[in-house]
Amino acid sequence: MPTVLITGANRGLGLEFARQYVADGWRVIATCREEKAAPGLADIDGDIGVHQLDITDHASIQALAKSLRKEPIDLLLNNAGVYGPRPVKLGGVDYAAWDDVMHVNTMSPLKVTECFLENVAASDLKKIISITSKMGSIADNEAGGSYIYRSSKAALNAVMKSLSVDLSPRGISVAMLHPGWVRTDMGGPSGLIDAEESVSGMRRVIDGLTLETSGRMLNYDGAEIPW
């Protein structure tokens, strides 16, 4: 039975990932900042454990990693993320908020990966996924604006690309996935697809990920997104 660890699993895409992986017979380690704020996880019937994890707190990450040090993790899914303030207009950038968003979206996934790296290396599948955004693509940016969110995801992509190179000798594949414009709290009610369709697509991409395709930014339908 494969195991997945999901950050930010209490709502949106993270909750849907947890539902689908449990339904498919996986063991799910679901993490969220406050266990009491995760009623949706409590409703999932299957092999799922809910753990408190504040990804902005290095001590919290290290404590959970220590408690799970003997657990192989086939798939490490860095899902937790924030958008930050909006709109962000030139001349009105909240630099303190920018620092917070970079911490959550860029630095925390790397710290989580560092702390659970040996768990992934000890597994059969050896995969690390970070949920990114097409808005982090520099080549695709024709609308401008969104300085905080765009830069945090572009930086995440750079971090994960380097990880794909560094971890290849250990047989670990890494990819960044764009979930599409999804109807979630972050995506809003105008999103083009729902969480079930997005996660189903991303899971197919994850299933097909190999060392040969490691290090890419991919859409939920498998299409490659330019940097």
Predicted local confidence at residue 34, as pLDDT: 85
Burial of 126 (0-12, 13-18, 19+ CB in 10 A): buried
Q: Which residues contact 62 (CB under 8 A, 6 or more apart)?
A: 115
| Marked catalytic residue, from 126, 127, 153, 161 | 153
Is residue 149 among the annotated active site residues? yes
The pLDDT of residue 20: 98
Q: What is the pLDDT of residue 203?
A: 98
Task: Please tell me what DSSP assigns to residue 181.
Answer: S
- The predicted structure's pLDDT at residue 136: 98
Domains with residue ranges and CATH for the chain? 3-219 (3.40.50.720)
Residue numbers of the chain with a pLDDT score lower than 70? 37
> Taking the CA atoms of the chain, what radius of gyration do you get in angstroms?
16
Q: Which two tokens stand for residue 117?
A: 């790296």
Selected catalytic residue, list 126, 149, 161, 173: 149
Closest CA to 178 of 221, 127, 126: 221
Give first-to-last CA distance, the chain, whole Å. Answer: 35
- Residue 157 neighbours by CB distance under 10 Å: 23
Output the pLDDT for position 166.
98
Give the per-residue pLDDT at 45.
Answer: 94
Write down the pLDDT at residue 188. Answer: 74
- Alpha-carbon span 54 to 34, nearest angstrom: 8
Q: What is the pLDDT of residues 123-138, one digit of tens each?
A: 999 999 999 999 999 9
Under 8 Å between Cβ of 201 and 221:
yes
> What gap in Å lies between CA 18 and CA 28, rounded to an integer?
6
What local confidence, expressed as pLDDT, does residue 219 receive?
A: 98
Nearest of 53, 165, 178 to residue 116 by alpha carbon:
53
Q: Which is catalytic among the residues 108, 123, 130, 133? A: 133
Q: What is the pTM of this model?
A: 0.96
133 is a catalytic site residue:
yes
Nearest to 43 by CA among 75, 5, 7, 11: 11
d(CA 86, CA 187): 12
Residue 37: the pLDDT is: 67
